[in-house]
Structures are given as structure tokens and as C-alpha cells.
Amino acid sequence: MVSALGSILSAAQKSQLTAIQSTARLIDDVQLRLASGLEVNKALDDPQNFFSARALEFRASDLSRRLDGIRQNIRAIQETQSGIDATLETLDLAESYLVDIEKQYQAGEIELVPLGDPTNVTQFEPASGDFINYAGSQDSGGPVSVTNGGDDFTLAGNLWKRVAFNYTVTADTVLEFEYASTIIPEISAIGFETDSTFNNDSNRFFLNGTQFTGVTYAAPVATYQYSGGGAYQSYSIAVGTYFTGTFTHLAFINDDDSGPTGNALFRNVTLREGPIDNSLVAPPELQEGYELILDQMDSFVIDANYRGINLLNNENMETVFNEEGTSTLVTEGIDATSNGLGLVRDDFNSVEAVQAKIEQVRDARTYLRNYTSTIASDLNIIQTRDIFVREAINTLLSGSDDLVVADQNEKGAEFLALQTRQSVQFVTLALGAQSEGFIADLL
């Protein structure tokens, strides 16, 4: 720029103008440092300090991300403690409930009741129309009299009938019924069938009659023979000890070709698998009340999660403390559900059983209190690490600032000095120009 002026300016003026331009550039640099607050704004300013500061900033940024995770894990432990507190309160309620039942037992205020209808029993309750002809011409075609909703039915005359009844006979199958006969037939029997033919198997049992041949049976004729007299006789036949398999029908025989006047009366026909439990148990509302309390406790456990972390649902939590992930702490979770704490829901059938439940509740409370100490220790470690990481971040950023941040007071003073220098240079340039003009006038 100065050289473009050619010979218009004198050498002194050119020198002074160059000095003014140099001062202007220095002012621009100082203004940039004042505006940015940085002594080193780019790598060209000071490569070593610039890249060293960047490295410190990057590490501080990495630690900041870890700091977020650390603080979130602190919240997760706090949420866990809230869940434990609620669970402990519920355990107190459960203990109070059980102690009250214990006192009722000791005072004789609880009466045991039958277990209820067995679940291993199948009732046979046919309608009259369910009985169909069986064994071809052996059946006279007469009807079967059914009463009491199928619990009672009577075969009279010459009747061979079967009823559709799909059932798989196992080794534990027992056939039970009551049988009576006021007029003895030739053959009275009960059995299982898969077709309408009687002479291709022996899956039946002789009950009554005067004819002991012509039909095959699973057991000797005398095994379940009716004692007579016309009164009902109870039968319990362990079918599974004679044969097993899947059958489609129950078959009933009242063969009486000569009369036909013989009859067979059946009632309360059932099939069961294994023995019937006739135990006496506590009233069901005792268990229902306890289950209601435990269900609420389980809901506290499920809800005690923070951002998907649930230490009370047997989940572990890892806290990472450094940027490389080499420094960690694993907080182990527990199963704080009623099942995980060993709280048995059923069996209120004795005072001893209730007392055992009280001990279970107390053991669960002790276990949770011990776990509280464990997570409190982990929380202290994490909080200490939180402070340490925050201080480390501040140290790193301060170190970065030391390398690149400008001293504002120093730069402000430098800026004022440069402005003063620039003003003096302008005045000097102006005076020089006036002096040369005066000399020219004299010449």
C-alpha cells in the first residue's frame, strides 16, 4: 500500500505510514484476544499450547460425560432406597397381619375347613339320550332312565349301552360309583370301550349276575361282585392296575335275555387320578389377605426403577469413573420380590405354619436392612468419585485456560498503549507533512 504511493511521499513519511500500519495490525490482534478472551486462538498462534489445551479440553469433555452417568447412578441408588423403605413398611404390615392370625389361632378363633372340591376328579353325568346301543343285537333298544341331572341312572331289561366319554386311563386312574340291583340280571358290568364290539377286549368289570361266561373281564368275576340285597354298594376300582390307554366311551351292560326283568342301578359315577386330599385347611381369606399385602410389596419393587435400572429386581448397576472405562464399581442388585425374599404365600393351616411365616418376614427385613448398608457404602464411594471427577474437570479446564487464555488486564493495557502509539504516529505524520509544505513555500 505504501509502495503504491510512488514518489508522492518522502522517505520519512513512508516510514511513518508503515509504522502506523504495523500498529494497526497489532491493535487488531489485541482486539481479537480481548474479544475471544484467548491468547492462543488458532494453532498458528502457538502450536504447542494450542494442541496441549485441546487435549486437556477433550479429556475434560470425556469426564463430563462420565460425570452424567455417575450422577444418574446416584439417583438410581436413591430410588432403590425409596423402594426399600416402602418394602420395609410393607413387611411391618405383613408381620402385624401374621401376628394377629397367630393370636387368633392361640385363642381358638380359627376353624379349619375342608379343602374343597378336588381337582383330580371327573364327574360322569349323562343324559338319557347319551346312551346308545352297544354290541349289536345284544341290546334290546330300550331307554335308560336318568334322574338327578345324570347322577343316577337305571338299566332295566336287556340293555347294552355305551356313552361317549373321552378319557385316558393312567396307572393312577380310579373308577368310583355306587351300584345296586333289585332283580338280578344275567350279566351286569361296567367298562371302557373304543368301538361297539365287546368280544375283542377285556376292558370291563363284572358286577352282578348269574352268567359268568361269554364275556371277558379285566379282573376275576368275584373281585367286584355285588353282595346283593338291593341296597347300594360303593365301588372303588383301581382301573390303572388292570389296563391303561385312551378310550372314547364308558360301557354299561345289563344282559338279561331270558326275562328280561333284571336291573342295574348306578349313581355318582366318577373317575379320578390318584387319591383325593381330604385335608382340612385354614379359611381361604387368611391367605388372600396375606397375598394382597405381598402383591403390594412386589409392586413397590417393580416401580423402584430409575431409567431402566432396578437394583431390587436382581439387576446389577455399573458406574464408570474414568474416560477409558478402566475404573468402575458394580453395585449388585437383589431379588426383593416376595418370592426372592422367601415369603411363602400358602399354608395357613396351623399356628406353627403362621409362626414360620413371621420368621420369614423378619428374616426378609434383616436382609433388606443389610442390603441398605451395602448400597449406602456404594453410594458414598460414588459420591466421593463425583466430587473427584468434578474437581478433575475443573483442573483440566483451568490447565487449558492457563495455556490459551489471555490476561484481560494485560491485553487492555496493551490495547490502550497501542492506541496511544497510533495517535502519536498520526500526529507525527501530520506534522511532518506540514513541515515539508512550509519548506516548499520558502523555496
- Give me the CATH number covering residue 187: 2.60.120.430
Reported as a single tens digit per residue, the pLDDT across 5-51 is 445 556 666 666 676 666 656 555 656 555 555 555 566 666 776 67
- Read off the pTM: 0.58
Residue type present at position 46: D
Task: Mark whether 357 and 226 lie in a shared domain.
Answer: no
Q: What is the pLDDT of residue 234?
A: 97
Asked which of 12-16, 85-89, 134-138, 156-160 is least confident by mean pLDDT, the reply is: 12-16
Task: Mark whether 238 and 195 lie in a shared domain.
Answer: yes
Task: Mark whether 171 and 261 lie in a shared domain.
Answer: yes
Reported as a single tens digit per residue, the pLDDT across 370-392 is 999 999 999 999 999 888 888 88
Residue 199 lies in a domain: yes
Q: Are 224 and 205 in contact (CB under 8 A)?
A: yes
Question: Could you say which of 396, 415, 437 is where a domain stops?
Answer: 396
Residue 423 lies in a domain: no
Instruction: Give me the mean pLDDT over the 250-260 stretch.
Output: 89
Task: Mark whether 187 and 219 lie in a shared domain.
Answer: yes
Question: Could you say which of 355, 371, 396 is where a domain stops?
Answer: 396
- 333: CATH: 1.20.1330.10
Q: Are 90 and 300 in contact (CB under 8 A)?
A: yes
End-to-end CA distance of the chain: 30
Task: Mark whether 183 and 217 lie in a shared domain.
Answer: yes
**Angle, alpha carbons 104-105-108 (nearest 5°):** 85
Task: Mark whether 168 and 79 lie in a shared domain.
Answer: no
Q: What is the pLDDT of residue 247?
A: 97
Q: Is the pLDDT of residue 181 over 50?
A: yes
Q: Is the pLDDT of residue 338 over 80?
A: yes
Q: Is the pLDDT of residue 429 over 70?
A: no
**Gap between the Cα atoms of 175 and 204, Å rounded:** 11
Spell out a b/e string for 336-368, using b for 16 or more CB atoms within 10 Å of the CB, else e. bbbebbebeeeebbeeebbeebbebbeebbeeb
Number of domains in the chain: 2
Residue 16 lies in a domain: no
Q: What is the pLDDT of residue 190?
A: 98
Average pLDDT score, the chain: 85
Task: Mark whether 228 and 352 lie in a shared domain.
Answer: no
Percent of the chain past pLDDT 70, that is, above it, reads 78
Residue 406 lies in a domain: no
Who contacts 399 (Cβ-Cβ below 8 Å, separation ≥6)? 53, 56
Residue at grid coordinates 436382581:
314
**Gap between the Cα atoms of 138 and 153, Å rounded:** 20
Question: Could you say which of 273, 298, 333 is where a domain stops?
Answer: 273
Task: Mark whether 257 and 290 lie in a shared domain.
Answer: no
Instruction: Give me the mean pLDDT over the 242-270 stretch.
Output: 93
Q: What secondary structure does DSSP assign to 404-418, as a single string?
A: HB--HHHHHHHHHHH
Nearest to 359 by CA among 372, 346, 344, 374: 344
Q: How many angstroms separate the Cα of 359 from the Cα of each of 91, 96, 249, 300, 366? A: 11, 12, 53, 22, 11
Name the band, by pLDDT with cuts 50, 70 and 90, for residue 67. confident
Residue 309 lies in a domain: yes
Q: What is the pLDDT of residue 11?
A: 65
Task: Mark whether 143 and 225 lie in a shared domain.
Answer: yes
Residue 45 lies in a domain: no
Task: Mark whether 101 and 234 lie in a shared domain.
Answer: no
Task: Mark whether 251 and 202 lie in a shared domain.
Answer: yes
Which residues lie across from 237 on neighbouring strands?
A: 175
Q: Is the pLDDT of residue 311 over 80?
A: yes
Asked which of 59-68, 167-176, 190-199, 418-427 is least confident by mean pLDDT, the reply is: 418-427
- The most confident of 88-97, 274-283, 428-437, by mean pLDDT: 88-97
Owning domain of residue 174: 121-273
Residue 70 lies in a domain: yes
Instruction: Give me the mean pLDDT over the 154-180 stretch.
Output: 96
Q: What is the pLDDT of residue 438?
A: 47
Q: What is the pLDDT of residue 442?
A: 46
**Gap between the Cα atoms of 293 and 300, Å rounded:** 11
Name the band, by pLDDT with cuts 50, 70 and 90, for residue 112. confident
Q: Is the pLDDT of residue 408 over 60?
A: no
Q: What is the pLDDT of residue 244?
A: 97
Task: Mark whether 157 and 234 lie in a shared domain.
Answer: yes
Residue 426 lies in a domain: no
Q: What is the pLDDT of residue 295?
A: 96
Reported as a single tens digit per residue, the pLDDT across 261-302 is 899 999 999 999 988 777 788 899 999 999 999 999 999 999
Percent of the chain past pLDDT 90, that is, above it, reads 57
* More confident of the two residues 67 and 5: 67
**Gap between the Cα atoms of 184 and 182, Å rounded:** 6
Q: What is the pLDDT of residue 26?
A: 54
**Gap between the Cα atoms of 407 and 393, Å rounded:** 22
Q: What is the pLDDT of residue 36?
A: 55
